[in-house]
Amino acid sequence: MPATFKAAVLSEFKTPIVLREFPLPQSTEPGGALVRIQMAGVCGTDVHLWKGQLPIPRPNILGHETVGIIEQCGVALEQDWRGVPLQKGDRVTWSSSLACGHCFYCKEKRQPTRCLNRKAYGISYNCDEPPHCNGGYAEFIYLRPGSAIFKLDDQLTTERVIGAGCALVTAIHGIERMGLNWGDVVVIQGAGPVGLAALAVALNHGASRVILIGGPEERLKTARRFGAAECLNIEHFPSAERRIQRVRELTRGHGADAVIECVGSPEVVPEALEMCRDGAKFLVLGHYGDAGEVSINPHVITRKQLQLHGSWGSEHRHMAQALEFLASQGGRFPFEELVTHRFPLDRVMEAIETTQKWQSTKSVVVP
Ligand SMILES: [Zn+2]
Ligand SMILES: [Zn+2]
């Protein structure tokens, strides 16, 4: 094992991410694992984190969608989260989050995504503190005891897992919370990874038609290939009024059965309420960063009898479901095609910039 490892480090918000070297842990606790990183995806949340929209410790190694090879297995780590045998040399992914299992939300309310002691790789750890390697934009990561590790089948490619990324588990959890009825007409706001994943999950849940609103054209092409019935390019539909009108035209004047927000901009929320039919459901899924306030008219919610839902992160079981889905729905939803831009470790800043400027569908870091 090398004595040190390189990582891309965020020292301060809105300043360049630079390469640093840290001591590599030379031993592994029981239940822990040291993993050599193969690929880490750049998520929209990384852009929000870089900007300082969530209060994370610094310096920090970002990167929370990751695949790697086990270099060292701690004693007692013999199986993955599902019970599949695990050993050195296995290719794995893992849930970025760790829940404590004994707090009010973990135990009493069965809502571990809101665990009072929740931690997440690539988000919650100061990399100046041992074991240093806590994020995906690095050569190694140390998975602590209690991490939910998943061995990957050979036919499930790294590109496919990273292409789906945290967007897929986010969409699975969100749609589970909101619930969809078979035959629902669904509007999805946003054509980024979360929007495309929500499209795949909604169709798999029995949505009859999905109308997706977003851009640029390249992403809408992917949306059509995934099975979107209609894509509204925001360049051609630049005003909320026109978009609302088009959704009503496509739903016999009533509006959609469900609207899923995957944009992260507050101004799309009042628009979504207008796209809902009476009694519809609305899921706010894209606001991981605090992007500020927007004014809405609560009368619309009461009069239309709307159901509003929120969803934060995902549980380990959603990762198990996501991997099953990726393995069985291979041809239908080619998530690997979302990976459009690759960057080495010393160019993580560029990877985040291409994501921020919507130049890539999915940027990845290959250490
Ligand atoms: Zn993410
Ligand atoms: Zn907890």
Over residues 6-31, the pLDDT tens digits come to: 999 999 999 999 999 999 999 999 99
Residue 124 CA, ligand 2 centroid: distance in Å: 15
Ligand (nearest to CA of 355): 1
Domain count of the fold of the chain: 2
Rounded-to-integer distance, Cα 214 and Cα 206, Å: 22
Are both 107 and 231 inside the same structural domain?
no
Are both 250 and 289 inside the same structural domain?
yes
Given pLDDT bands bounded at 50, 70 and 90, which one contains residue 46?
Answer: very high
Instruction: Give the CATH number for residue 59.
Output: 3.90.180.10
Residue 103 CA, ligand 2 centroid: distance in Å: 4
Ligand (nearest to CA of 197): 1
Residue 63 CA, ligand 1 centroid: distance in Å: 8
Residue 234 CA, ligand 1 centroid: distance in Å: 24
What's the confidence (pLDDT) of residue 262?
97
Are both 121 and 186 inside the same structural domain?
no
Ligand (nearest to CA of 106): 2
What's the confidence (pLDDT) of residue 289?
84
Per-residue pLDDT reduced to its tens digit, 223-263: 999 999 999 999 999 999 999 999 999 999 999 999 999 99
Residue 167 CA, ligand 2 centroid: distance in Å: 23
Ligand (nearest to CA of 313): 1
Rounded-to-integer distance, Cα 7 and Cα 143, Å: 16
Task: Using the predicted structure, report yes or no on whether residue 309 has a pLDDT greater than 80.
Answer: yes
Are both 46 and 146 inside the same structural domain?
yes
Average pLDDT of every residue of the chain: 96
Distances (CA, A) of 159 to 65, 93, 128: 11, 12, 30
Residue 38 CA, ligand 1 centroid: distance in Å: 17
Are both 122 and 213 inside the same structural domain?
no
Residue 314 CA, ligand 1 centroid: distance in Å: 10
Per-residue pLDDT reduced to its tens digit, 106-165: 999 999 999 999 999 999 999 999 999 999 999 999 999 999 999 999 999 999 999 999
Task: Using the predicted structure, report yes or no on whether residue 330 has a pLDDT greater than 80.
Answer: no
Task: Using the predicted structure, report yes or no on whether residue 358 has a pLDDT greater than 90.
Answer: no
Residue 174 CA, ligand 1 centroid: distance in Å: 14
DSSP 94-119: E-SEE--SSSIIIIIS--GGG-TT-E
* Contacts of residue 181, Cβ cutoff 8 Å, sequence gap at least 6: 206, 257
Ligand (nearest to CA of 288): 1
Strand, coil or helix: 145 = coil
Are both 108 and 213 inside the same structural domain?
no
Task: Using the predicted structure, report yes or no on whether residue 299 has a pLDDT greater than 80.
Answer: yes
Given pLDDT bands bounded at 50, 70 and 90, which one contains residue 333?
Answer: very high
Task: Using the predicted structure, report yes or no on whether residue 290 has a pLDDT greater than 90.
Answer: no
**Angle, helix 158-178 to helix 316-328, in steps of 10 degrees:** 120
**Angle, helix 217-226 to helix 193-204, in steps of 10 degrees:** 20
Are both 210 and 339 inside the same structural domain?
no
Per-residue pLDDT reduced to its tens digit, 99-114: 999 999 999 999 999 9
Assigned domain for 302 exists: yes
Ligand (nearest to CA of 99): 2
Task: Using the predicted structure, report yes or no on whether residue 327 has a pLDDT greater than 80.
Answer: yes
What's the confidence (pLDDT) of residue 288?
87
Ligand (nearest to CA of 146): 2
Ligand (nearest to CA of 66): 1
**Angle, helix 348-356 to helix 44-51, in steps of 10 degrees:** 100
Average of pLDDT values for 32-55?
A: 95
76, burial (CB in 10 Å: exposed 0-12, middle 13-18, buried 19+): exposed
The token duo for 81 is 């989260």
Task: Using the predicted structure, report yes or no on whether residue 331 has a pLDDT greater than 90.
Answer: no
Instruction: Give the CATH number for residue 280.
Output: 3.40.50.720
Rounded-to-integer distance, Cα 226 and Cα 108, Å: 39
What's the confidence (pLDDT) of residue 188?
98
Return the number of other C-beta atoms located less than 10 Å from residue 102's C-beta: 10
Nearest CA to 8 out of 352, 342, 341 is that of 352
Assigned domain for 318 exists: no
Assigned domain for 161 exists: no
Residue list, CB under 5 A from ion ligand 1: 43, 45, 166
Ligand (nearest to CA of 118): 2
Residue 116 CA, ligand 2 centroid: distance in Å: 5
Are both 139 and 246 inside the same structural domain?
no
Assigned domain for 325 exists: no
Range of the domain at 341: 4-152+334-365
Residue 304 CA, ligand 1 centroid: distance in Å: 32
Ligand (nearest to CA of 100): 2
Ligand (nearest to CA of 101): 2
Given pLDDT bands bounded at 50, 70 and 90, which one contains residue 344?
Answer: very high
Nearest CA to 288 out of 122, 108, 87, 59 is that of 122
Average of pLDDT values for 309-316?
A: 97
Rounded-to-integer distance, Cα 101 and Cα 43, Å: 26
Share of the chain above pLDDT 70, in %: 100
Nearest CA to 191 out of 163, 216, 164, 225 is that of 216
